[in-house]
Amino acid sequence: MSKWKSHTTGLDYKNKLGRLGKNVVIEDGVRIFFPDNVEIDEDVYIGHDTILKGYFDQKLVIGSGSWIGPQCFIYASGGIIIGRNVGIGPGVAIMSSAHNLEVRLGSILHTPIERKTVYLGDGCDIGAKSVILMGVHIGQGAQIGAGAVVTEDIPDNAIAVGVPAKVLRLRKREKLNV
């Protein structure tokens, strides 16, 4: 018998979600694990082949009006709160846990896991194929450039790009409509 255990197929989530608002579109191929810990507000779009993972004791919350592109991986083992009207581009990965690399006892695979909540503020936009790591807070109205790796907090209305992501400048206030 294998020591690996599946968290189910992720396909049997209908009628089991912690919350499912009105006017939600969930495209074909979406998998939702631990659906009782996934809350989706109204007017949300989730693109095809996206994986949403709630967790045993943590929630994945998706705010109203948010758009999640295809082929995203959102793993809420430390909790993930996505605000209202958030855009998440195709292929984005958001993870709220990581292996503790300070522990040097053999394989990294078997080191302890650290978990910290990720927050995406209202009206922020995450560019395609970006990676958001555990504990990060992305401010309201912030924009993350495509392919960025976000390892630290990003302030409200900031534009951040690169690996690791760095703030280039702030968006002009008079043009914001979050």
Give pLDDT < 70 ranges for the chain: 1-15, 103-104, 173-178
Q: How far apart are CA 159 and CA 24, in angstroms?
A: 29
In Å, what is the CA distance from 6 to each residue of 2, 78, 149? Answer: 10, 19, 28
Q: What does the pLDDT read at residue 11?
A: 58
Q: Which of 132, 43, 58, 134 is nearest to 96 (CA)?
A: 134
Looking up tokens 């302890």, which residue turns up?
Answer: 112
pLDDT 10s digits, 30-56:
999 999 999 999 999 999 999 999 888
Q: What does the pLDDT read at residue 170?
A: 95
Amino acid identity of residue 86, one-letter, is: V
Q: Which of 125, 147, 122, 120 is nearest to 136 (CA)?
A: 120
Q: What does the pLDDT read at residue 177?
A: 58
Q: How far apart are CA 119 and CA 74, in angstroms?
A: 12
pLDDT 10s digits, 5-20:
445 555 556 668 999 9
Q: Where are the domains of the chain?
A: 17-99+109-167
Q: Per CATH, which fold does 17-99+109-167 belong to? A: UDP N-Acetylglucosamine Acyltransferase; domain 1 (2.160.10)
Q: How far apart are CA 108 and CA 90, in angstroms?
A: 29
Q: Which of 7, 5, 6, 43 is nearest to 25 (CA)?
A: 43
Two structure tokens written together for 136: 């990060």
Q: What does the pLDDT read at residue 12?
A: 59
Residue 114 in contact with residue 96, Cβ under 8 Å?
no
Two structure tokens written together for 139: 């401010």
Q: Which of 74, 63, 80, 51 is nearest to 24 (CA)?
A: 63
Q: What does the pLDDT read at residue 54?
A: 87
